Structure 1
Amino acid sequence: MGHSHQAEMLDLDTEVLHEYHREVITWVGASTPDRPRILDLGAGTGTGSLALARHLPDAHVTAVDVDEPMLEHLRHKATTLGVDDRIHTVQADLDQPWPPLGPVDLVWASASLHHLADPVRALTRARDVLRPGGAIMVTELDSFPRFLPDPAGEALEERCHAVLAERRAEAGLHMDDAWGARLTEAGFTVETERRFDIVLRPPLPAAANRYAHLALQRMRHGLADRLGAADLAALDTITAGVLDRDDLVVRATRTVWLGRRPA
């Protein structure tokens, strides 16, 4: 998938799963002091940075990502929303030595740590930029969302997700890491772990159809050399018609850990 589709998927995740995102942002907002300085690691299109800046009107956010086009997308949205004076972007590879980023009161890492070659090293650096007593919020997903409600569709999605999990493991992605243990290893005290089992049933907004369409396209692209011909053909047929369906069900799981640097 190209950059524009990837950026759109990230934005649609926030739009479609808005109740989950609002709950997490409200929760983390209650864990920050007045006028917090926030570090968003692997910010992507800035859905977390923007939500935090809007929810906490006295917050200042530093958004870090390796992808400059994503940061440009973030800056454009920040300007549109009128929060560009409180969001600063930094292009950096978090697996390399970090530029000066602290001190901060909150580190936000949403679905980003699994991409890193050495997440514990990154978490240790995050601890070092936090003020004593500062908080870290880590969000990770067990897998990407599922959408198909019929038994044949569900079975096809399960087969596709199983193959994707194999491919992610081969690529060294840390999707199944024990993040509570990783936080402890990096010197944090884990205060809370919350699992969100998200199920959105019809009627759904049109954004959910577009979200499903992009997700299925991404799946098809990633599995072109792994799935059998029959499954690829079925996936093509489903993807072609998913924008017009009114029976989709969005199913997703997210787990959130709140940790703290000891005072």
Structure 2
Amino acid sequence: MTGHQHTHTHHTHTHSHSHGHGHGHGDAEDFDWASFGPVLEQSADLHTPVVEQAAEWLRGLLSGPVRRALDVGSGPGGAACLFARAFPDAEVVAVDGTPELLARARDRAARLGVADRVRTHLADLPDGLAGAGEAELIWASKSVHHLGDQQGALNRLAAALRPGGVLAVAEGGLQPRVLPRDIGIGRPGLLTRLDAAQEEGYADMRAGLPGAEETVEDWPAMLTAAGLTGARSKSFLLDLPAPLDPPARRFLHAELARLAERLADRLDATDRATLDRLLDPDDEAGVLRRPDVFWLSATTVHAAVRPAD
């Protein structure tokens, strides 16, 4: 499988990668990640402030310089490029299982002027991780939950850390809120019902993964079980008040459109009709035109350190 840094929102998949718990997952891991590249890039742009804040927090957990960092389940390399900026002496490796997304990562690095320090590694997770080598910093955003054995995946990631290195896993957080409870069309509380439908889809996705194991998703405890120390968590807020700017609106529209398609069988006719109106570019009640659209979400990062030998 491939993991991607993206948001898990009530409008889409996340995963990231972003990700994304209100996971927007379909009922099986058959998603065409290559076709999702443009939306993942939009997500990376939107969440730049979050990753920058997370990188600064992680800097304080490291006991020494970062010479090498891995962005595992990198998608189009949003975090990889930001880590290259945050740690100017580091080689950053974007690790993903989708060649088209790694091509986007290389293009993104070139656009941002960090192509000399960002490289890509094609690998299915977690088996292909060994070829990526060791690092002082490993970042995995919304990718571990796509693996049947989540604890086993963390064990492998922890083993790739150099002594004193940090493993950071972005999982969970708070679902994005983007509209008022009562939006003036359909029944109030649409987003809450979308959340519930996505949770059902996420559970089905997890159950269908190869080697799926039920796990209490206590990420600090899982990091500790992987042999790491000092596990802690911190959440980073993305607060974009209304009226949302055009790029963020376009991302939201794309997320909602995919969500409407993938959750169609889990929603009633009224909610499907409401989504149709929200997606209509000519409707004043649609997300591309209405003035009350905002974005409020929280990304939680769990991190721990490999003890010095």
Checking the alignment, whether the CA contact within 8 Å between 2:224 and 2:231 is kept in structure 1 is no
SS in 1 for 2:189: helix
More deviation in 111-120 or 16-25?
16-25
With over 3 angstroms needed to count, the CA separation of the structure-2 counterparts of 1:76 and 1:85, relative to structure 1, is: same
Q: Distance in 2 between matches of 1:161 and 1:175?
A: 21
Aligned residue runs from structure 1 range 208-223, under 5 A: 208-223=248-263
Q: Distance in 1 between matches of 2:198 and 2:215?
A: 11
By how many angstroms is 1:202 displaced?
1.8
With over 3 angstroms needed to count, the CA separation of the structure-2 counterparts of 1:126 and 1:179, relative to structure 1, is: same
Match of 1:185 in 2: 225
Aligned residue runs from structure 1 range 117-132, under 5 A: 117-132=148-163
SS in 1 for 2:126: coil
Match of 2:191 in 1: 157
SS in 1 for 2:116: helix
SS in 2 for 1:248: coil
Match of 2:302 in 1: 257
Which string of whole-angstrom CA distances, capped at 9 and with x for unpartnered residues, describes residues 2-46 of structure 1?
Answer: 656632333323333343222112222344433521011111111
Give 1 or 2: higher helix fraction: 1
Aligned residue runs from structure 1 range 33-112, under 5 A: 33-112=64-143
With over 3 angstroms needed to count, the CA separation of the structure-2 counterparts of 1:165 and 1:74, relative to structure 1, is: same
With over 3 angstroms needed to count, the CA separation of the structure-2 counterparts of 1:254 and 1:86, relative to structure 1, is: same
By how many angstroms is 1:239 displaced?
1.7
Q: Distance in 2 between matches of 1:212 and 1:5?
A: 17
TM-score normalised according to structure 1 size: 0.90
Q: Distance in 2 between matches of 1:199 and 1:40?
A: 25
Q: Does 1:12 align with 2:42?
A: yes
By how many angstroms is 1:149 displaced?
1.9
State the number of aligned residues.
263
The unaligned stretches of length 5 or more in structure 1 are: none
With over 3 angstroms needed to count, the CA separation of the structure-2 counterparts of 1:55 and 1:67, relative to structure 1, is: same
Q: Does 1:246 align with 2:291?
A: yes
For the aligned residues, what is the CA RMSD?
A: 2.3
By how many angstroms is 1:176 displaced?
7.5
Read off the aligned partner of 1:237 and give its amino acid letter: R
Which string of whole-angstrom CA distances, capped at 9 and with x for unpartnered residues, describes residues 180-214 of structure 1?
Answer: 11111111113421123543212432122112101
SS in 2 for 1:225: helix
| Identity %, equivalent residues | 36
TM-score normalised according to structure 2 size: 0.78
Which string of whole-angstrom CA distances, capped at 9 and with x for unpartnered residues, describes residues 219-243 of structure 1?
Answer: 1011112211111011111122211
Aligned residue runs from structure 1 range 188-207, under 5 A: 188-207=228-247
